[in-house]
Amino acid sequence: MVPDVYYLALSAVLFALGVLGVIVRRNPLVIFMSVELALNAANLALVAFGLRHGSADGQVLVLFVMAVAAAEVAVGLAIIVAIFRLRERLSVDDLSLLRW
């Protein structure tokens, strides 16, 4: 069996890559994927902690987080596609278009 520390280390690396992608990139689609990567890293950590304590609470919480993430993906991609159709390019600077 793989030690829990490996799962937590992988989760930390994935989370750091997700945060780095949000900070460095200017493309909203790449930023969106980076946020999802960080969210999945947190899910991996929750499952690892649940495994360590021998309970299914972490897995249940991950199930709810994944349901919310699916809704987030649908809304986020719809907004990104709408901005791309309007401007014919993708940039974080175009998101000021969403203001009143």
**Angstrom distance (rounded) from CA 6 to CA 8:** 5
Q: Using the predicted structure, report yes or no on whether residue 98 has a pLDDT greater than 70.
A: no
pLDDT score, position 95: 73
Residues 95, 31 contacting (CB under 8 angstroms): no
Q: Which pTM does this prediction carry? A: 0.85
pLDDT score, position 38: 96
Q: Which residue has the tokens 């609470």?
A: 57
Domain count, the chain: 1
Q: Using the predicted structure, report yes or no on whether residue 34 has a pLDDT greater than 80.
A: yes
Count the alpha carbons within 13 Å of 63 in the hemisphere toward its beta carbon.
6
pLDDT score, position 41: 97
Helices (H) and strands (E) in the chain, counts: 3, 0
Q: Using the predicted structure, report yes or no on whether residue 97 has a pLDDT greater than 70.
A: no
Q: Which residues contact 25 (CB under 8 A, 6 or more apart)?
A: 31, 34
Which CATH number characterizes residue 42's domain?
Answer: 1.10.287.3510
Range of the domain at 85: 4-98
